[in-house]
Amino acid sequence: MDKFVIEGGKPLQGEIKISGSKNAALPLMAAALLADGKTTLHNIPALHDILTFNNVMRVTGARVEFDPESETLSIDPDTIYYPESPYDLVRKMRASFYMLGALLGRSGFARVSLPGGCAWGPRPVDLHIEGMKAFGAHISLEEGYVVAKVPQGSGGLPGGSFKLSPSSVGATVNLLLATVKGRARAEIRNAAKEPDVVQLCSFLKQMGAQIEGIGTSTLHVQGVPHLKGITFHNAPDRIETGTFMILGAMHPESRLTLTNIAAGDLGMFPGWFQKTGAELQLSGNAMQIIAPEVIQPVSVITEIYPGFPTDLQAQWATLMTQAEGESQVTDTIYPDRFSYIPELVRLGAQVKVRNNSAIINGKTPLSGTSVMSTDLRASVSLVMAALCAKGRSEVLRVYHLDRGYAKLEEKLNKVGAGITRINAEDQLS
Ligand code: EPZ
């Protein structure tokens, strides 16, 4: 397993180009399977999760070609003959569960493995399943697989109304995929409004779908008999943008400029960010971050979009270790998403976890040591802490990072970081 060796304590200055969004791309890829004909997607990041999903789609017989250089992905579903997704792939990436809605929507049958849990605990899919049942699907659980069928001779799911409780990005995606093709009249209440969902709805409408209420928490779908393959440009990654905004505030002399951003996708996050004393200068699709001399403590509570994103929770707590004073980070989406805290403490942070909150006492000087990544966003927060720490750190198991951050060490070394990737085999020698 690769690791990073990081020489910390240096300011970061220069430009970082934001890559295409992983969480926005995955639903588009699943939706492309509903089309009659090929779809071409641009600005698709060359991440492990994208490569995993490509293989999940190939298992069905779909033709999938990805060029990591041009970040272009083409998907031709006309050769699909096997509407199944196996455990050994689905367990690697939860979003593979989108195959349930895509295959059910395309051919009226799907057999998809239940996803595994995540490092921070089980992540249920009950809303996905209950929603499809509410729309008329016959669902059974067989040896760890979800088998979904459209009622015999019905010509597609009849539809109905279903309320998500709690609101769920993945369930909203899956229920859209299951109903846009066919004859369903479906209402999804308390639907997620994340930019990833809004982009999916725009993509589906371009394919010929009929969806009303886009961007609101009630979506109305009228199924249509056919959807066509299209060409589409994926959005920039709002979580990568937020991650590098936070990193750009951690050292008083840092001056980062982020290019190829979609500022409109950041929700209310810039508001919290500026409360720390950091300044933002926006021009077009570029944003310059001016780090504050003194970081103000700012407590946050994660919420569904446009509230504070849970995917920036670990990065924010890391910033708060450098704030002058006490702050609290509460996660209402994933109450136990704090596995990175003991590793921050090993770097010198003063943090206590109580229920679904981390109480952080800043400012604490961080000093380099070895730390262990446990999941995607936790691992990037450890890299950020190591970049801020004095001396040398090692961040182990960076494969978690490779799932969600494209060319991370390349992007950060270009602006003055000192990150060296040590490949697993080199460690043995
Ligand atoms: C998406 O996961 C993202 N993943 C996650 O990003 C993100 O943290 C999450 O949304 C919340 O914003 C992708 O987009 C691929 P949810 P998802 O269903 O769809 C509960 C990353 O780091 N729930 O919106 O799985 C669930 O337990 C990843 O890139 C049910 O109870 O999240 C959670 O408390 C991590 N039953 C809440 O809903 C269900 O059937 C929100 O989960 C589904 C979800």
| Helix 98-107 / helix 22-32 crossing angle, nearest 10 deg | 20
- Give pLDDT, residue 326: 98
Is 388 a residue of the active site?
Answer: no
Interval 146-183: pLDDT, tens: 999 998 877 789 999 999 999 999 999 999 999 999 99
Q: Give me ligand 1 centre to Cα 169, in Å.
A: 6
Interval 182-212: pLDDT, tens: 999 999 999 999 999 999 999 999 999 999 9
Q: Which amino acid is at 331?
A: D
Interval 318-363: pLDDT, tens: 999 999 999 999 999 999 899 999 999 999 999 999 999 999 999 9
Q: CB under 6 Å to ligand 1: residues?
A: 23, 26, 94-95, 123-128, 166, 168-171, 192, 196, 310-311, 333-334, 376-377, 404
Quickly state the pLDDT bin for 117 (edges 50, 70, 90): low
Q: Where in the chain is the domain with CATH 3.65.10.10?
A: 3-19+236-428, 22-233
Reduced to 3 states (helix: H, G, I; strand: E, B; else coil), residue 8 is: strand
Peptide bond into 124 cis (omega under 30): no
Phi, psi at residue 6, to the nearest 5°?
A: -125, 125
Reduced to 3 states (helix: H, G, I; strand: E, B; else coil), residue 244 is: helix
Q: How many CB atoms lie within 10 A of CB 210?
A: 13
Q: Give me ligand 1 centre to Cα 128, in Å.
A: 11
Q: How far is CA 211 from the centre of its chain?
A: 24
Q: Give me ligand 1 centre to Cα 365, in Å.
A: 34
Ligand 1 atom with least separation from CA of 49:
15
Topology given in CATH for the domain delimited by 22-233? UDP-n-acetylglucosamine1-carboxyvinyl-transferase; Chain (3.65.10)
Output the CATH code of domain 3-19+236-428.
3.65.10.10
